[in-house]
């Protein structure tokens, strides 16, 4: 494939809601797993957001657990987090600012708040009562509640400290168990989310591949001849795989990332609006860098996808035709063309990596700056009592959780871009419909095999006719030979009879029925060609003969013997179950032709077309074919297209074509007697 030809592919565009809607239609069979994945996403995201909250709660209420004393103030007596001991109210330090509304320093200066910190506990056990009785001067007790200054608390022994803070340690254990429970829930539901979306993505990819394959194999020969095999294979493999990545790694992940970012901002503002506002003010550089990255990543991915398709198409074409490259010593020129395409792909990948190499460190820098700003501002507010230590630690944790989705979204955007590229190319292929119309409703109960061409004209390109008013009739069981110089239109007749192409004018009839009125499956079951270039699959000889049809062992053996293929098959190591290599290179060209004969006989069509079927067969193999030819054609209508007149000398009728027109018809002897075009052809081949 030339570089000029490859450049005709369009550069794909960015996000397209129309394409996304078409993709979502493939999700309909997988609604249940998608709903399950969304539910798992909600649970796992909620769990992720709860983790910093649990840590903050553990630090402030259980690990630090100090209280401030409001002197003789009844306005906070209804808060269930405070304790009333005598005339004073004890408020947890981490809730002091939120409860009172002003910072600790102002409260201390106004005389409302004692500068001392306290541990407060309810008197519930004998150990509590014994400790208070032992140190009555350092405990303040009232109505089953006791308080002790932190300075006095430090003078106690370790066992006595454990007694004072027994409730805090029990609560901390509960929080740890809850923390582990949240981690397990996040693990389980994250697994479910990943599994369900992977299942969905694989299912969508399977359905897309089936749809693409079905669409492609039903396209016309005209369409398939214009599209390189490598390009079609790329559509069904690489491009479909990018769509799998979209469903597996992008859609749910984007939902999770957005939910996480929104959830983090919400939790930040609930914890401390002032500090949250400071954190939010560090985000504009992130938004700007993401917008810049989005544009550059889109351009990079566009070029990568285009060049991947080019390289695949080039490789598929030139590896398939490697023998031609080697025969004409064209390796250096081919290597040079491939080198340019390969270098272009390398450059595109490097450009993509360059974008990532700049963006990822930039996001890390912005994260560090944001955390630095929050720590600086948070430390100053912590000193004044506006922020607790737990809140400050939770903020740092939550900021990391906020920036991780930002980085993830940036990476997922490139996958989204790639998926949009692959999707556009897939749907572009699906939208190209050049099928032979299969609208026939007629049914062939019993095919006799009468073929009629009535004034048939055809051209591959408008204005360049290949056949002109061709008319002839083949009666059931007759062998009709079609001969003529190269380019006369012989092979075209075979293609038209099987409706690989549709005629421009005239009619082609099978048993009096216009072949356009017959369903394609029935038509091609009744009429089958033995093509000039035999294609055998990388399967066993048995599978290449039956082609998935239900053929008995007896019928299979009969087909092999009738085609004279048993002479070499029986000498193979595994017989008919011998595996053919790619291109069937482990057997000769003549043996491939014999297998194609056996394939036709096994499928038992009523009409056989032999298109140059013996053109490349050696003399010894041709003798074998001649032996089986009578049996192969017996009872069937056959059209034999050949340059080698030895194969059609005894045909019931010979049709001679020249420049797309029938110039002579008759038996071999009749045409020889006329001394026309057929006589000239015969004389050229058998001149003595």
| Cα–Cα dist 213/224, whole Å | 12
Percent of the chain's residues with pLDDT above 70 = 87
Q: CB–CB of 448/511 below 8 Å?
A: yes
- Could you count the other beta carbons within 10 Å of the beta carbon of residue 370? 23
Mean pLDDT of 256-260: 83
| Cα–Cα dist 7/11, whole Å | 9
What pLDDT does 175 receive?
A: 92
The H-assigned helical ranges of 7-90 are 17-25, 31-57
What pLDDT does 446 receive?
A: 80
Q: Do 472 and 596 lie in a common domain?
A: yes
Q: CB–CB of 484/459 below 8 Å?
A: no
For the chain, give the mean pLDDT: 81
Mean pLDDT of 664-682: 87
DSSP letter string, 404-428? HHHHHHHHHHHHHHHHHHHHHHHHH
Residue 194 has pLDDT above 90, yes or no: no
Q: Do 426 and 529 lie in a common domain?
A: no
Using pLDDT thresholds of 50, 70 and 90, give the confidence band for residue 1.
very low
Candidate ranges 105-119, 635-649, 662-676; pick with highest mean pLDDT: 662-676
What pLDDT does 148 receive?
A: 92
Using pLDDT thresholds of 50, 70 and 90, give the confidence band for residue 9.
very low
Name which residue leads in pLDDT, 626 or 614: 626
Q: Do 488 and 625 lie in a common domain?
A: yes
Q: Do 423 and 495 lie in a common domain?
A: no
Q: Do 265 and 396 lie in a common domain?
A: yes
| Cα–Cα dist 33/203, whole Å | 11
661 belongs to a structural domain = yes
Number of structural domains the chain divides into: 2
What pLDDT does 6 receive?
A: 42
Candidate ranges 171-175, 409-413, 601-605; pick with highest mean pLDDT: 171-175
Going by C-alpha positions, the residue among 115, 73, 74, 70 that lies closest to residue 95 is 70
What pLDDT does 5 receive?
A: 43
Candidate ranges 104-108, 259-263, 579-583; pick with highest mean pLDDT: 259-263
Name which residue leads in pLDDT, 45 or 4: 45
Residue 573 has pLDDT above 80, yes or no: yes
Going by C-alpha positions, the residue among 295, 236, 233, 254 that lies closest to residue 13 is 295
Name which residue leads in pLDDT, 535 or 576: 576
What pLDDT does 73 receive?
A: 57
HSE-CB at 37 with a 13 A cutoff on CA atoms is 25
What pLDDT does 2 receive?
A: 44
For residue range 386-398, list pLDDT tens digits in order: 677 778 888 888 8
What pLDDT does 102 receive?
A: 55
SS (H, E, C) 190-248: HHHHHHHHHHHHHHHHHHHHHHHHHHHHCCCHHHHHHCCHHHHHHHHHHHHHHHHHHHH
What pLDDT does 455 receive?
A: 93
Q: Which residues are 454's β-sheet partners?
A: 507
Q: Do 543 and 400 lie in a common domain?
A: no
Q: CB–CB of 609/642 below 8 Å?
A: no
Q: Do 459 and 407 lie in a common domain?
A: no
Q: Which residues, 6 or more positions from 236, have their beta carbon under 8 angstroms from its beta carbon? A: 209, 212, 213, 216
Which range (477-486, 567-576, 643-652) has the least confidence?
A: 643-652
321 belongs to a structural domain = yes
Model confidence, pTM:
0.67
Residue 546 has pLDDT above 60, yes or no: yes
Using pLDDT thresholds of 50, 70 and 90, give the confidence band for residue 3.
very low
Which range (4-8, 340-344, 399-403, 511-515) has the least confidence?
A: 4-8
Domain boundary (370, 402, 431) is at 431
Domain boundary (431, 465, 488) is at 431
Residue 651 has pLDDT above 90, yes or no: no
For residue range 430-474, list pLDDT tens digits in order: 888 877 787 777 667 788 889 999 999 999 888 888 999 999 999
Give the burial class of 61: count Cβ atoms within 10 A of its Cβ; 0-12 exposed, 13-18 middle, 19 or more buried.
buried
The H-assigned helical ranges of 577-655 are 589-603, 619-633
Residue 344 has pLDDT above 80, yes or no: yes
Mean pLDDT of 164-169: 90
Mean pLDDT of 626-651: 73
SS3 68: strand
What pLDDT does 686 receive?
A: 66
Mean pLDDT of 667-679: 87
Answer positive or negative: Cα dihedral of 21, 22, 28, 30.
negative
Q: Which residues, 6 or more positions from 352, have their beta carbon under 8 angstroms from its beta carbon? A: 297, 300, 301, 304, 414
Mean pLDDT of 273-277: 82
What pLDDT does 507 receive?
A: 93
Using pLDDT thresholds of 50, 70 and 90, give the confidence band for residue 12.
very low
SS3 109: helix
Q: Give helix then strand counts, H and E, for the chain.
A: 27, 16
Residue 11 has pLDDT above 50, yes or no: no
514 belongs to a structural domain = yes
Residue 601 has pLDDT above 90, yes or no: no
What pLDDT does 10 receive?
A: 47
130 belongs to a structural domain = no
- Could you count the other beta carbons within 10 Å of the beta carbon of residue 286? 20
Domain limits at 298?
3-56+173-431
Q: CB–CB of 576/496 below 8 Å?
A: no
Using pLDDT thresholds of 50, 70 and 90, give the confidence band for residue 597.
confident
181 belongs to a structural domain = yes
Name which residue leads in pLDDT, 684 or 656: 656
How far is residue 2 CA from its own chain's centroid? 28
Using pLDDT thresholds of 50, 70 and 90, give the confidence band for residue 566.
confident
Using pLDDT thresholds of 50, 70 and 90, give the confidence band for residue 688.
very low
Going by C-alpha positions, the residue among 217, 219, 210 that lies closest to residue 437 is 219
Q: CB–CB of 45/257 below 8 Å?
A: no
For residue range 73-87, list pLDDT tens digits in order: 555 555 667 788 877
What pLDDT does 8 receive?
A: 43
What pLDDT does 130 receive?
A: 92
Candidate ranges 368-377, 475-484, 590-599; pick with highest mean pLDDT: 475-484
Q: Do 398 and 499 lie in a common domain?
A: no
Q: Do 466 and 377 lie in a common domain?
A: no
Structure-token match 């034999």, residue found: 640
Domain boundary (378, 403, 431) is at 431
| Cα–Cα dist 42/189, whole Å | 9
Q: Do 475 and 393 lie in a common domain?
A: no
640 belongs to a structural domain = yes
Q: Do 386 and 475 lie in a common domain?
A: no
HSE-CB at 434 with a 13 A cutoff on CA atoms is 14
439 belongs to a structural domain = no
| Cα–Cα dist 56/64, whole Å | 11
Q: CATH number for the domain including 563? A: 3.40.50.300
Give the start-end residues of each E strand in 48-177: 67-70, 83-85, 88-92, 113-122, 139-142, 145-149
Q: Do 406 and 491 lie in a common domain?
A: no
62 belongs to a structural domain = no
| Cα–Cα dist 633/631, whole Å | 6
Which range (195-204, 309-318, 451-460) has the least confidence?
A: 309-318
Q: CATH number for the domain including 394? A: 1.20.1560.10
What pLDDT does 389 receive?
A: 78
């Amino acid at each position: 494939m030339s570089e000029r030809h490859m450049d005709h592919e369009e550069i794909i565009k960015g996000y397209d809601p129309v394409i996304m809607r078409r993709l979502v239609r493939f999700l309909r069979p997988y609604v249940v797993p998608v709903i399950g994945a969304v539910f798992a996403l909600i649970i796992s995201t909620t769990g992720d957001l709860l983790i910093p909250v649990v840590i903050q709660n553990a630090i402030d209420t259980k690990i630090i657990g100090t209280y401030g004393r409001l002197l003789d103030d009844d306005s906070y007596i209804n808060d269930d987090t405070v304790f009333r001991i005598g005339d004073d109210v004890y408020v947890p330090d981490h809730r002091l600012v939120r409860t009172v509304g002003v910072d600790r320093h102002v409260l201390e200066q106004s005389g409302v708040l004692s500068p001392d910190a306290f541990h407060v506990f309810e008197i519930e056990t004998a150990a509590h009562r014994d400790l208070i009785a032992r140190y009555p001067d350092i405990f303040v007790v009232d109505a089953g509640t006791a308080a002790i200054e932190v300075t006095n608390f430090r003078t106690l022994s370790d066992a006595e400290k454990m007694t004072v803070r027994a409730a805090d340690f029990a609560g901390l254990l509960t929080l740890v168990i809850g923390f582990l429970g949240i981690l397990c829930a996040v693990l389980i539901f994250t697994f479910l989310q990943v599994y369900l979306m992977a299942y969905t993505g694989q299912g969508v990819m399977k359905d897309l591949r089936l749809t693409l394959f079905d669409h492609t194999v039903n396209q016309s020969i005209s369409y398939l001849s214009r599209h390189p095999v490598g390009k079609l294979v790329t559509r069904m493999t690489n491009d479909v795989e990018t769509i799998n990545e979209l469903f597996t790694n992008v859609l749910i992940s984007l939902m999770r990332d957005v939910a996480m970012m929104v959830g983090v901002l919400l939790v930040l503002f609930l914890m401390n609006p002032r500090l949250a506002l400071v954190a939010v003010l560090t985000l504009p550089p992130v938004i700007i860098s993401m917008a810049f990255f989005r544009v550059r990543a889109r351009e990079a991915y566009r070029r990568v996808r285009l060049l991947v398709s080019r390289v695949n198409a080039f490789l598929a074409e030139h590896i398939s035709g490697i023998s031609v490259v080697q025969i004409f010593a064209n390796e250096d020129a081919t290597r040079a063309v491939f080198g340019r395409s390969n270098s272009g792909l390398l450059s595109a990948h490097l450009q993509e990596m360059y974008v990532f190499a700049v963006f990822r460190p930039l996001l890390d820098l912005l994260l560090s700056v944001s955390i630095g700003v929050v720590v600086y501002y948070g430390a100053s507010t912590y000193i004044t009592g506006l922020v607790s230590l737990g809140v400050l630690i939770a903020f740092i944790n939550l900021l990391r959780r906020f920036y991780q989705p930002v980085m993830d979204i940036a990476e997922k955007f490139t996958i989204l871009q790639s998926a949009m590229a692959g999707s556009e190319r897939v749907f572009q292929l699906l939208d190209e419909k050049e099928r032979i119309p299969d609208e026939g409703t007629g049914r062939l109960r019993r095919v006799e095999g009468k073929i009629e061409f009535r004034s048939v004209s055809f051209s591959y390109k408008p204005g360049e006719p290949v056949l002109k008013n061709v008319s002839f009739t083949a009666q059931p069981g007759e062998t009709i030979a079609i001969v003529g110089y190269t380019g006369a239109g012989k092979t075209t007749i075979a293609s038209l009879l099987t409706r690989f192409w549709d005629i421009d004018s005239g009619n082609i009839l099978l048993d009096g029925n216009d072949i356009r009125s017959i369903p394609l499956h029935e038509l091609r079951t009744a009429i089958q060609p033995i093509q000039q270039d035999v294609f055998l699959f990388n399967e066993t000889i048995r599978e290449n003969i039956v082609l998935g049809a239900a053929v008995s062992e007896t019928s299979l053996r009969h087909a092999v013997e009738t085609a004279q293929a048993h002479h070499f098959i029986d000498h193979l190591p595994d017989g008919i179950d011998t595996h053919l290599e790619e291109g069937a290179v482990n057997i000769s060209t003549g043996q491939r032709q014999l297998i194609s004969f056996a394939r036709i006989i096994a499928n038992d069509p009523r009409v056989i077309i032999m298109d140059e079927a013996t053109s490349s067969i050696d003399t010894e193999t041709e003798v074998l074919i001649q032996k089986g030819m009578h049996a192969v054609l017996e009872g069937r209508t056959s059209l034999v297209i050949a340059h080698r007149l030895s194969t059609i000398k005894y045909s019931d009728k010979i049709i001679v074509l020249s420049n797309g027109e029938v110039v002579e018809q008759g038996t071999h002897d009749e045409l020889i007697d006329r001394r026309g075009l057929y006589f000239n052809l015969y004389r050229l081949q058998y001149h003595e």
